[in-house]
Structure 1
Amino acid sequence: MTGPLRIVHAIRSAAFAGVEQFVLRLAVQQAADGHRVHVIGGDPARMRPGLAHPALSFAPATRTAETVQAIARAAPGADVVNTHMTAADAAAVMALAARRRRPPIVSTRHFTSPRGRFAGLPIDALVAGTIDAELSISRAVADAIGRASTVVHSGVAVSDLPARPRERTVLMAQRLESEKRTDLGIRAFASSGLAAHGWSLEIAGEGAQRAALEELAARLGVDARFLGFRDDLAERYRTAGVLLAPCPVEGLGLAVIEALAAALPVVAADAGGHREILAGLDPRALFEADDPDAAARALASLGDDAAGRFALGEAGRARQRAQFSIAAQARGTEEVYRAAIAVRARSRR
């Protein structure tokens, strides 16, 4: 099949976290590439404004039953259904499994873990016969999920904005949940000694751990600024001094890629997708995962090395442009779609 595609993205969600933003960015790029794209799921207040384009449309889906119904309605006019996270995988299978003529289902895998279980049965076993192709956002995800998949790295837009003066600020930008290890970042900043040299700590994001993290910062004497959810992170990436990314289980790490696009030097846990993004740059860009002392040493060293920070930022930006652009992601994703469409078309003959 050649020519523009009719693409459906499905998430069971009322949120606007990393996966929802991933879908929004990809859908917008796909529309710019000439395709028609329908997005199911995500916070309507934040998804709809970004999908205000004649080739884009949106339907909310906060529960599995709503997701099943929305996929069933959209499927007859679709060339491919791209699902995101296990609930949407299951919803697509429920909506389409009984249809002889249906679009292929391509499941994007975002996390370094297999699908869970439902009623005691492994979900992989329930959906494997209906999902036509799996796509992983990183090699780390592909190696962890226990399924054959194609790696297509997440990407962001290439930025041509002029440089801004950088502040002596260490920034963390992530959900405030236990697996993100924001606590490790606070401990690392406290141990780094950077505060005595005029550096400050900013933490952007919300989550269940916020109160505990505020208490930890106060106990360690860290005057951390908790910024809450921010829709201006792109500007913060242009003015902060270092991004600290302590999570040891990131499938890839969107904040890291966004920071690279802004030439912001990054110090990240040497685990998950972070390795794919940062390996081979300045050794200080990666620290041993779950080791606050190693993170503190990397921060202290870079904090005292303005030339090193600048060089790391420029090297990171060059890597993002070469390997982690949204245009490259859309091209790789389209190749997976067209291969799945061709296989399904042959199966009908």
Structure 2
Amino acid sequence: MTLRIVHVVCSDGFAGVERHIAVLAPELARLGCEVVVIGGDGPRMRATLDPAGVAWFPASSRGEAARWLARLGRLSLVHAHMTEAELVAVATRTVHRAPVVATRHFAAGRGSSAAARWVGRRIEGRLAGQLAISDYVARESGGATWTVHPGVPVQESRVPAAERDRTVLVVQRLEPEKSTRTAVDAWARSGLAEQGWRLRLAGEGSERASIEKDVADRGLGDTVELLGARDDVAELMRGGGILLAPTPREGLGLAVLEAMAAGLPVVASASGGHDETVGAVTPDNLFAPGDAETAGRLLRERASDLARRERDGDLLQRHQQAAFTVRRQAQETLRAYQQVLA
């Protein structure tokens, strides 16, 4: 019997959670499921969902998501992402009559207040199961039944280290929790500007203006580019020299997975999901969260060692192809569904 699966997120954006769904849903469809997605930015979601025959409906609010769940009729399973979608999915279960599973994307429990935590406990008690995007998230969020690592598309080739640009890339939102200032500090300490390298920051956020001021105050303006939000991250990574990932509590790190797929060496904070990606094969490229001095030293050492960058890129790409593919993610997710339905 064909499983009829609905993924729901109460959002009209396209950040990490929405991208997670946009990658996973088409692969589940290729495995034989009938898949519907509710929520996320319409044009960007449909660009990946339409070719796989996955239907999409908008849901920028809980009410809109609830209305679509009520209209879809009988379902095999509802897969909710983030607390608002979880709340809608369990509240409408008398209508859709399907078990609800949730994916935990962040390394924290539900709710920042006593009332919100009470609601979170009520939600968790009505879930048929919970997936986590990493062992780290499973430990920190509590209650996860399975760890299912996200995957990214495989790239069969990579640009040799000798042909890559002399650039250090940072790909993330410019928000306080991402610790972009650590990246700028590490860049300043690395001394790579004097060797012809450049730092490129791809992403937008509330800290952009303050980061620009910090760069100017340090006299780094000629060597640092703030690229803003980009749709060509894959190309940036294909030609970049090193990815710097400073986030201290990263659930897993989609940008790191994309860098691994491209064979791009990664220097990352030794925390969160980075231990399960970069740390699994190139642990010497990790630095303590916030330790800009060590991060700068690692950047300097890797930049000066072409053979090491070539080796690291090869090891990371092989690890991605073995452990972090979209097909593997979909297969493990489907196994979780089958256990719930059994």
TM above 0.5, one fold?
A: yes
> C-alpha displacement at 1:119, in angstroms?
4.0
Counterpart of 1:157 (choices 153, 160, 173) is 153
SS at match of 1:251: coil
The one of 118, 124, 127 equivalent to 1:128 is: 124
The answer on whether the counterparts of 1:35 and 1:55 sit within 8 Å (CA) in structure 2 is no
* 1:248-263 → structure 2 map (5 Å cutoff): 248-263=248-263
- Distance in 2, matches of 1:29 and 1:210, equals 35
- Deviations 1:10-51, CA, capped at 9 Å, x for gaps: 001111111100100001111222222111111112112221
Counterpart-to-counterpart distance in 1, 2:329 and 2:117: 33
Deviation digits for residues 272-313 of structure 1 (CA, Å, limit 9, x no counterpart): 000011224334321111111111111111011111011000
Please give the alpha-carbon distance, in whole angstroms, between the structure 1 residues aligned to 2:52 and 2:321.
28
Distance 2:311 2:128 in 1: 43
* Contact 2:158 2:262 survives alignment (8 Å): no
Moved more, 216-225 or 293-302: 216-225
1:107-256 matched pairs, under 5 angstroms: 107-116=102-111, 117=113, 119=115, 121-163=117-159, 165-222=163-220, 223-256=223-256
* Structure 1 equivalent of residue 79 of structure 2: 82
- The Cα of 1:120 is off from its aligned counterpart by 5.2
Amino acid at match of 2:91: M
The verdict on how the C-alpha distance between 1:106 and 1:141 changes in structure 2, with shifts beyond 3 A counting, is same
How far residue 162 of structure 1 moved from its aligned partner, in angstroms, is 4.9
Within 2, Cα distance between the matches of 1:336 and 1:192?
45
Q: Which amino acid aligns with 2:132?
A: S
Q: Distance in 1 between matches of 2:8 and 2:48?
A: 16
Q: 5+ residue gaps in structure 1?
A: 343-349
SS in 2 for 1:141: helix
| Aligned 8 A contact 1:103 1:341 in 2 | no
The whole-number CA distance in structure 2 between the counterparts of 1:54 and 1:284 is 40
- Per-residue CA distance 1:139-198 (angstroms, 9 max, x = gap): 000001121421011111111145262000000000111100111101100110011111
- Equivalence for 1:328: 328
Any gaps of 5 or more consecutive residues in structure 2?
Answer: none
Question: For residues 320 and 112 of structure 1, what CA distance do their matches in structure 2 show?
Answer: 22
Structure (1 or 2) with the greater helix fraction: 2
SS of the equivalent of 2:109 reads: coil
Calculate the aligned-residue CA RMSD, in Å.
1.5
1:94 aligns with 2:91: yes
Describe the shift of the 1:280–1:22 C-alpha distance in structure 2 as closer, same or farther (beyond 3 A): closer
Q: Percent identity?
A: 42
> Which residue in the other structure is 1:346 paired with?
none
User: 1:254 and 1:224 mapped to 2: Cα distance?
Assistant: 23
Are the counterparts in 2 of residues 10 and 39 from structure 1 also a CA contact under 8 Å?
A: yes
2:100 is matched by which residue type in structure 1? I
- The one-character-per-residue Cα deviations of 1:40-84 (angstroms, maximum 9, x if unpaired) are 11111211222113630101111111122222223x332111110
Alignment of 1:307-318 (within 5 A): 307-318=307-318
Question: Larger deviation: 282-291 or 301-310?
Answer: 282-291
Q: In the TM superposition, what whole-angstrom CA distance separates every residue of 1:224-260 from its partner, at most 9, and x where no partner exists?
A: 1111111111111110000000001111011001100
* Corresponding residue number in structure 2 for 1:103: 98
- Aligned-partner Cα distance in 1 for 2:179–2:224: 15
CA-CA distance at 1:341 after TM superposition: 1.2
